[in-house]
Amino acid sequence: MSVIVDKPEKKTNPWLEHVRRHRSRDPTLSYKEALVAAKATYTPREKEIKEKVPPGERKPNKWMEHIDSFKRENPDWKNTYSYKQVLQMLKDTYKQSAPQTTQQIE
């Protein structure tokens, strides 16, 4: 038994739709000529502009908090370790400090 699954419609690119319509009006045009001709009449849609969230209002990042706590506890860390070494050490301690979510099944 085979099941037919309807695929969701793909979003079409507005620019390519415009070129396709322009070329359908004059099928003798090459694709390149249609691109050049369609460029003169195309007006792009305005994109949605997402507002940037100020740093103070961002959701706290546990990894960055872990790094910041290390920096606060070790103010002279730059004299002792490279940043890469610090990240590796913190990666190991971050895994250890993460809560255990596995439960034993009886």
- Does residue 102 sit within a domain? no
Give, in order, the Cα–Cα distances in Å from 28 to each of 5, 15, 64, 89, 100: 38, 20, 59, 66, 67
Number of domains in the chain: 2
Check residue 89 and give its pLDDT. 86
Low-confidence ranges of the chain (pLDDT < 50): 102, 104-106
Check residue 28 and give its pLDDT. 92
- Does residue 80 sit within a domain? yes
- Does residue 52 sit within a domain? no
Count of CB atoms within 10 A of residue 19's CB? 19
State whether 66 and 93 are in the same domain.
yes
